[in-house]
Structure 1
Amino acid sequence: MKNFTFNINENSYSVRIVSQENNTINLEVNGTAYAVKMKEEVKTIKTPTLVRTPSKAAIEPVKISSASSGKIKVEAPIPGVILGLNVKVGDTVKDGDLLLVLEAMKMENNITSEKAGVVTAVNVAVGQQVLQGEVMIELE
């Protein structure tokens, strides 16, 4: 299996490990065979296995909160940077229309309207960083 050379008190010893079974090792020291019993079993190194548990939290859709006045606020679902705006104040949008593109964690996220309405305010600009929960667009 393996060969070693030890120098102890200026004496050279050639050690060859012949075999290993559980905690008993058969070896030769300068040609003489020995069976050595280890106090503890030699642990074998195993390649670790990555175990992931499924996420318990459900994926949150884009938060749109309606106030009593009928305004709909489109909030940032995660922190990111605005890559593109597809609407301006006064535009009429339908359910499912693309409002803006938000880059987060090197991925482009399309933020769409979940309700029809008219854009009353655009609170972000292209290149602007937004935090989670920040109101980006308001609809009425």
Structure 2
Amino acid sequence: MKKYKFNVNGNNYAVHIKNVEGQAIELEVNGTPYTVEMEREIKSSKTPKLVRSSAPRTSAPKAITRSAKKTNVVAPLPGTIVSLKVAAGDKVTQGDLLMTMEAMKMENNVLAEADGVVGTVKVSEGQSVLQGEVLVEME
């Protein structure tokens, strides 16, 4: 069927795949026959696909969640906190810089989405965060 050459830890192997039926594969490695069973095929795309919505986007996604009296500023992307610009008790207005985070090798500013007072800063410089993780609780 197909012939391959492999080099594993400095050893060369000539592999000839003779038959594939379902999960069972009959093959020869350097002339020695083997029957192996494959757990499952792992499919991966060679190039990522960018999917865009056909609907026009009116604004950037909000990086906040709101409860009755508190507003949580959450991480828009997974990344690392580079610098903090606010501390608990600081008053901020909409658009003020709260912190800078590195995501996908780019620095991203995390801004206040509304006026308020910083209640709790949940992260520290150098900390890795996941998308959606609470960074700052505002009152």
Q: Give the TM-score normalised by the residue count of structure 1.
A: 0.58
Alignment of 1:102-117 (within 5 A): 102-117=101-116
1:139 shift after superposition: 0.4
| Residue type at the aligned position of 1:61 | P
Q: Deviations over 1:4-35 (max 9, x none)?
A: xxxxxxxxxxxxxxxxxxxxxxxxxxxxxxxx
Alpha-carbon shift at residue 61 of structure 1 (Å): 2.4
Question: 1:65 maps to which residue?
Answer: 65
Distance 1:134 1:54 in 2: 24
Q: Count the aligned residue pairs.
A: 89
- Call closer, same or farther: CA 1:96–1:55 in 2, change over 3 Å: same
Matched, 1:127 2:126: yes
Structure 1 unaligned spans of 5+: 1-51
2-structure distance, mates of 1:53, 1:95? 32
Distance 1:94 1:67 in 2: 19
Residue 5 of structure 1 corresponds to which residue in structure 2? Answer: none
Consecutive unaligned residues of structure 2, counting only runs of 5 or more, are 1-48
TM-score, normalized by length of structure 2? 0.59
What is the CA deviation profile of residues 35-76 of structure 1, one whole-angstrom value per residue up to 9, with x for unaligned ones?
Answer: xxxxxxxxxxxxxxxxx86622858524211101x1000000
Q: Which residue identity does 1:83 align to in structure 2?
A: V
Answer yes or no: is the 8 Å Cα contact 1:62–1:75 preserved in 2: no
Q: Which amino acid aligns with 2:53?
A: K
Query: How high is the sequence identity, in percent, across the aligned residues?
Result: 48
Matched letter for residue 65 of structure 2? S
* Counterpart AA for 1:55: R
In 2, Cα distance between the equivalents of 1:118 and 1:89? Answer: 8
Paired with 1:95 and 1:78, the residues of 2 have a C-alpha distance of 20
Change (3 A) 1:53 1:109: closer
Question: Is the CA contact (8 Å cut-off) linking 1:100 and 1:112 kept in structure 2?
Answer: yes
